[in-house]
Amino acid sequence: MAEQPSLPSMRVDGQVAVVTGGGSGLGRAMAKGLSEAGAAVAVADLPKMLPGAEETAQAIRAAGGTAYAVPLNVKEQASIDAMVAAVLKESGRIDILVNNAGVNIPREALDVSEQDWDNVVDVNLKGVFFTSQAVGRVMVKQKSGRIVNIASQNGLVGYYKRAAYCSSKAGVVNLTRVLALEWAPHGINVNAIGPTFIVTPLTQSTFDDENMRADLLKRIPLGRVGQPEDVVGACVFLCSPAASLITGHTLMVDGGWTIL
């Protein structure tokens, strides 16, 4: 009899994935990676970013995959419910949720307004929770699912001009543990990824600031910032059979920043 292979699959063939904020940056790269690993992908993004989401979906379809764009504002419960309904109508199930939508308003702590704070925390933390809750209800019925929350190294360490951002991402790291605990009996794994600085529209203003660019490079032992593709392997791995006994974990993709 042939031996069972020792390496579990890192593919997600036939599964249905939702990637929030999939019209740009990390979300686009992860949507494409999940498609390359075999999933059909719903690329969800703000109505004003739908052309970006459609561009992601088109790139996936051009490469032979299955993908479509769906409008979503993670700040609004009704929009989350409408996104879930649209994906169920189109694909019949949701196996993978990547909570990637996120914002930052870099500002000194003394200058942060209540509106800045609410904007960042509502998208990055409240949005992750209520999107997980809505999709979690579907996954509980299915008795299986994978959720990957895009936290940040800034969920573990502090950094300048990021009072609300670091607070929201630290919240995501611990929310990941709570959801992992509560939903483990339902066959749902919940993990997070903690990227370092990655070159995307979100970080443009930081990279434009010469002092900040020099400062952050000094803090990355591997000596470089990331590209969106640097996060794809961690995401696909956490969604795949190879990670079936991993839950509640935050996998750092930070070039070593948080070692120090």
Ligand X SMILES: NC(=O)c1ccc[n+]([C@@H]2O[C@H](COP(=O)([O-])OP(=O)(O)OC[C@H]3O[C@@H](n4cnc5c(N)ncnc54)[C@H](O)[C@@H]3O)[C@@H](O)[C@H]2O)c1
Which residues of this chain interact with ligand X, rule CB under 6 A?
A: 20-21, 23-27, 45-46, 49, 52, 72-75, 100-103, 123, 127, 150, 152, 195, 197-198, 200-203
By beta-carbon proximity to ligand X, the closer residue of 139 and 192 is 192
Of 125 and 243, CB closest to ligand X: 125
**Measured from the CB of residue 225, what is the shortest distance to ligand X in angstroms?**
8
Give the shortest CB-218-to-ligand X separation in angstroms.
16
Q: How many CA atoms lie within 13 A of 141 on its CB side?
A: 9
- State the catalytic residue, choosing from 68, 159, 160, 165: 165
| Contact in structure between 144 and 97 (CB atoms under 8 Å) | no
Asked whether 130 and 177 are in contact (CB, 8 A), the reply is: no
- Minimum CB–partner distance for residue 6 and ligand X (Å): 33
Query: 100 or 189, CB closer to ligand X?
Result: 100
Q: Among this protein's residues, is 165 annotated catalytic?
A: yes
Q: Rank residues 4 and 48 by Cβ distance to ligand X and give the closer one.
A: 48
The closest of 50, 46, 37, 42 to 18, measured between CA atoms, is 42
Q: How far is the CB of 206 from ligand X (least distance, A)?
A: 8
3-class DSSP state of 226: strand
Give the dihedral of Cα atoms 185, 186, 188, 190; nearest 10 deg.
-50
Query: Measured from the CB atom, is 37 or 253 closer to ligand X?
Result: 253
Q: For residue 181, give every residue at least 6 positions away whose Cβ sits within 8 Å of its Cβ, in sequence order, or none.
A: 248
- Output the smallest distance, CB 99 to ligand X, in A: 8
How many helices and strands, by DSSP H and E, does the chain display? 9, 7
Phi-psi domain of 143 (left: phi exceeds 0; alpha: psi -120 through 50; beta: other): left
Maximum Cα–Cα distance for the chain, whole Å? Answer: 68
List the catalytic residues: 165
